[in-house]
Amino acid sequence: MVERFTLSRKLFIGFNYVFLTILSLICLMPLIHVLAVSFSSSSAAAAGYVKLWPVEFTLESYKYVLGKDEFFRSILMTIKRVSIGLIVNMVLTVLVAYPLSKEVQKFRGRTIYAWAFVFTMLFNGGLIPIYMMVKYTGILDSVWALVLPQALPIFNMILLLNFFRGLPKEMEEASFMDGAGHWTTLWKIFVPLSAPALATITLFTMVFHWNSWFDGLIFMNSPHNYPLQSYLQTVVIQQNFSSASLESIAELQKISDRTFKSAQIFLGSLPILLVYPFLQRFFMKGIVLGSVKE
């Protein structure tokens, strides 16, 4: 049977398309503006001539950013942090969320443990105790100082916990009847069915580790070990040109603070923009559609 759209239905669909298109453009305009400023000359950016298209196109800001060894060293540090941090965060999140998703009858003390984790979201020891903990555990000035203090993201754990609780219990019972234990049920039943939730948490984790900059300044004694965002922050805020060579000063005259910041903002957000489309398809995917047959 062919569905026939009435005039009001067509107007409603058309309005939705126009509204969502305008909303999408509004969301993209700031990023387009930043990209245009990064490709514009320093004089055009300072005068405010740049809108959504580069004025006096130049690559000097990118040449200055990409021409430094410190930049690539900080990228490698960030990639190491994201890789290790993603593995540690995801494994601990899954292992903690699974037992806490059980009923109290199956896991006595579940409520106490759950509230203990929630308490850490509301209160923490503060910066000085965390720094002392990192220092006296011997991980200061290493990638582990950036990963272990945030080893278990409580917010992500709560999201996955609630997702696990929404999965059909018949599947878990069938797994136990077939002789599987909790470990097999977790990794062969719960984890595959939780692809949308895991993809969302993965994106949250990657964005957190990629964008973090303050902990790099605190836990890294040597600037050579700074992650990307910490390095870019020191370049923008704490740049010292007193010892710069004549060639460097001449090069800095071709760029401005605004074009340089725009270039580093775009380079810092580019990896996440490239990863997001590959994870987006999981957001709209059915969770357990067709998994349980009546």
Same domain flag for 27 and 127: no
Same domain flag for 44 and 144: no
Q: How would DSSP label each residue in 249-273?
A: HHHHTT--HHHHHHHHHHHHHHHHH
Return the structure tokens found at 141.
């000035």
Under 8 Å between Cβ of 224 and 73: yes
Tell me if 166 is assigned to some domain: yes
Contacts with 103 (C-beta within 8 Å, 6 or more apart), sequence order: 110
Under 8 Å between Cβ of 258 and 41: no
Under 8 Å between Cβ of 255 and 61: yes
Tell me if 3 is assigned to some domain: no
Same domain flag for 169 and 156: yes
Domain that includes residue 255, residue range: 62-283
pLDDT of residue 176: 87
pLDDT in tens, the chain (294 residues): 445 678 888 888 899 999 999 998 898 898 899 899 889 888 888 888 888 889 888 888 888 878 778 888 888 999 999 999 999 999 999 999 999 998 888 888 888 998 999 898 888 888 888 999 999 999 999 999 999 998 999 999 998 998 898 888 888 888 888 888 889 999 999 999 888 888 888 888 988 998 888 999 999 988 888 998 888 788 766 554 444 444 455 555 567 777 877 887 788 788 878 877 776 666 555 333 333 443
Same domain flag for 166 and 29: no
For residues 199 and 129, what is the distance between their CA atoms, to the nearest angstrom?
A: 33
For residues 99 and 96, what is the distance between their CA atoms, to the nearest angstrom?
A: 6
Same domain flag for 145 and 244: yes
Q: How would DSSP label each residue in 104-128?
A: TTTSTTHHHHHHHHHHHHH----HH
Domain count along the chain: 2
For residues 86 and 116, what is the distance between their CA atoms, to the nearest angstrom?
A: 23
